[in-house]
């Protein structure tokens, strides 16, 4: 086994070469030695007092994707261009196609997500919800939302397709859309059930530093993620054709309908159309999280994701810092890496695929909250019926032979 040396401030540690995951191959012979040191930072004009104190990182979780990633500082391949200085307190640049992690700052450190958590909602519920299904918004979906927060603009009693809600979630960062999607995706458990599905999806993706409390990313006690986990989540979402279509949409016009007015949705400024090869991105901001961002760009056959947390509006803002980190990533050789994105738990994924919300153009809110498992239940019932018939036939045949 090849032995690599990881250089940290004032200490030299010898570690084994990164283990290669079948779904995230990293050519060990091209693996550059990585150097861990303090992250290059730009001093922010001001940071608010009372920032949250994140829980410590479990050493086992900190080693996910490679031991070099278990640092609170900078980890980059040796003898590569200098990483840009940013205000973000943690970040990762990864190649989604190969699974190589090109570099990062505190990759596994707990941070507050803000609206980039909506990508976890998409990863969890896109496979479960029929986009043609029509659902009715309830008063409870909206009661706990600040009217000044990011909203799609749905109204109680209005009826919207799931596809329209996804567009509102990803274009307008609609917290109202997040609440509705989580409710219908949570089945009889409602919104809380949807959040539970999000956390189950995080575990399936092996995003061990992620715990959702709200579906929208609005702050909640005990809600955290990490830059590495967001790269895993981005890999899952950008692998889906439907997600890529939604996230690449610039504008959408939703016609008026029963109990609702027409809505004009315009995508947040996420580098789409301004950064070369940008496939789409998601911004976030709360007072606690500061600026957060996840974006993916494709160039020369490489699909790179950048995830950053805890950025400030000046001097570059999250978008400027994301562009600088992507430029740095594309400047590296394709084989440069300090770790890899781990593969999800396949067995649980296969199980989840069997749980699908059937489309129903006449369905309202009640149908949405109670129809998570009818397809699976019906399938099981049909199989049991066939089995009973087969066993009865065997018994009759046995009697005839015995007689």
pLDDT tens digit sequence for 124-148: 999 999 999 999 999 999 999 998 8
- Which H helix or E strand runs over 238? helix 227-238
Q: What is the pLDDT of residues 208-265, one digit of tens each?
A: 999 999 999 999 999 999 999 999 999 999 999 999 999 999 999 999 988 899 999 9
Give the model's pLDDT for residue 46: 57
Residue 321 belongs to a domain: yes
Give the model's pLDDT for residue 50: 54
158 in Cβ contact with 260 (< 8 Å): yes
User: What is the rounded CA–CA span in Å between residue 21 and residue 324?
Assistant: 29
- Split into its structural domains, the chain has a count of 1
Give the model's pLDDT for residue 380: 41
Q: Is 369 an annotated catalytic residue?
A: no
**Residue in the structure block whose two tokens are 């050789």:** 333
- Among residues of the chain, what percentage have pLDDT more than 70? 74
Ranges 51-60, 257-266, 361-370: which has the least confidence: 361-370
β-strand 251-254 against 263-266: which pairing, if any? antiparallel
User: What is the rounded CA–CA span in Å between residue 80 and residue 100?
Assistant: 15
User: What is the rounded CA–CA span in Å between residue 15 and residue 22?
Assistant: 21
Computed over every residue of the chain, the mean pLDDT equals: 81
Q: Is 115 an annotated catalytic residue?
A: yes
92 in Cβ contact with 100 (< 8 Å): no
Q: Is 173 an annotated catalytic residue?
A: yes
User: What is the rounded CA–CA span in Å between residue 237 and residue 80?
Assistant: 29
Q: DSSP letters of 347-358? A: HHHHHHTT--BP
Give the model's pLDDT for residue 120: 98
Q: What is the pLDDT of residues 259-276, one digit of tens each?
A: 899 999 999 878 999 999
Residue 386 belongs to a domain: no
Q: Which domain holds residue 326?
A: 59-340
Q: What is the pLDDT of residues 163-197, one digit of tens each?
A: 999 999 999 999 999 999 999 999 999 999 999 99
Find out whether 282 is annotated in a ligand binding site: yes
78 in Cβ contact with 37 (< 8 Å): no
Task: Classify 300 in phi/psi space as left (phi over 0), alpha (psi -120 to 50) or beta.
Answer: left
Residue 195 belongs to a domain: yes
Residue 169 belongs to a domain: yes
Query: Which residue of the set 90, 98, 150, 173 is catalytic?
Result: 173
Ranges 124-128, 281-285, 364-368: which has the least confidence: 364-368
Residue 89 belongs to a domain: yes
User: What is the rounded CA–CA span in Å between residue 327 and residue 117?
Assistant: 24
Give the model's pLDDT for residue 41: 78
Rg (CA), the chain: 23
Ranges 7-11, 105-109, 113-117, 385-389: which has the least confidence: 7-11
Q: Phi, psi (5° rounding) for residue 4?
A: -115, 160
Residue 15 belongs to a domain: no
Give the model's pLDDT for residue 381: 44
Residue 146 belongs to a domain: yes
CATH code, 89: 3.40.710.10
Give the model's pLDDT for residue 42: 75
244 in Cβ contact with 238 (< 8 Å): yes
Residue 394 belongs to a domain: no
User: What is the rounded CA–CA span in Å between residue 82 and residue 355?
Assistant: 47
**Residue in the structure block whose two tokens are 């943690």:** 90
Query: Which residue of the set 98, 115, 318, 369 is catalytic?
Result: 115
pLDDT band at 11 (very low <50, low <70, confident <90, very high): very low
Query: Which residue of the set 118, 163, 216, 226 is catalytic?
Result: 118
**In the predicted model, is pLDDT for residue 343 greater than 90?**
yes
């Amino acid at each position: 086994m090849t032995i690599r040396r990881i250089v940290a401030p004032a200490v030299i540690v010898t570690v084994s070469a990164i283990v290669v995951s079948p779904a995230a191959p990293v050519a060990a012979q091209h693996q550059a030695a990585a150097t861990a040191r303090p992250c290059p930072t730009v001093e922010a004009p001001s940071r608010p007092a009372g920032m949250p104190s994140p829980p410590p990182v479990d050493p086992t979780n900190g080693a996910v994707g490679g031991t070099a990633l278990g640092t609170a500082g900078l980890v980059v391949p040796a003898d590569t261009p200098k990483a840009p200085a940013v205000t973000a307190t943690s970040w990762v640049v990864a190649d989604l196609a190969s699974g190589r992690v090109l570099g990062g700052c505190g990759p596994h450190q707990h941070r507050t997500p803000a609206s980039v958590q909506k990508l976890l909602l998409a990863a969890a519920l896109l496979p479960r919800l029929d986009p043609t299904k029509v659902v009715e918004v309830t008063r409870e979906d909206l009661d706990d939302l600040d009217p000044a927060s990011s909203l799609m603009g749905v109204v109680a009693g209005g009826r919207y397709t799931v596809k329209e809600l996804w567009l509102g979630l990803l274009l307008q960062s609609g917290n109202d859309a997040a609440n509705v999607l989580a409710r219908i995706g949570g089945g009889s458990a409602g919104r809380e059930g949807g959040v539970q599905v999000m956390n189950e999806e995080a575990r399936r993706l092996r995003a061990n530093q992620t715990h959702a409390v709200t579906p929208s990313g609005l702050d909640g006690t005990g809600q955290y993620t990490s830059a590495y986990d967001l790269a895993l989540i981005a890999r899952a979402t950008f692998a889906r054709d439907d997600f890529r279509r939604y996230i690449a949409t610039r504008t959408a016009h939703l016609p008026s309908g029963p109990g609702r007015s027409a809505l004009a949705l315009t995508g947040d400024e996420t580098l789409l159309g301004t950064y070369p090869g940008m496939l789409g991105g998601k911004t976030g901001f709360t007072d606690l999280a500061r600026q957060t961002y996840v974006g993916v760009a494709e160039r020369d056959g490489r699909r790179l994701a950048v995830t950053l947390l805890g950025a400030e509006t000046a001097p570059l803002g999250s978008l400027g810092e994301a562009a600088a980190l992507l430029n740095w990533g594309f400047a590296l050789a394709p084989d440069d890496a300090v770790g890899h994105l781990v593969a999800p738990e396949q067995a649980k994924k296969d199980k989840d695929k069997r749980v699908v919300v059937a489309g129903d153009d006449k369905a309202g809110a009640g149908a949405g909250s109670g129809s998570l498992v009818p397809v699976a239940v019906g399938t099981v019932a049909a199989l049991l019926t066939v089995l009973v018939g087969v066993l009865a036939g065997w018994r009759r045949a046995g009697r005839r032979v015995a007689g």
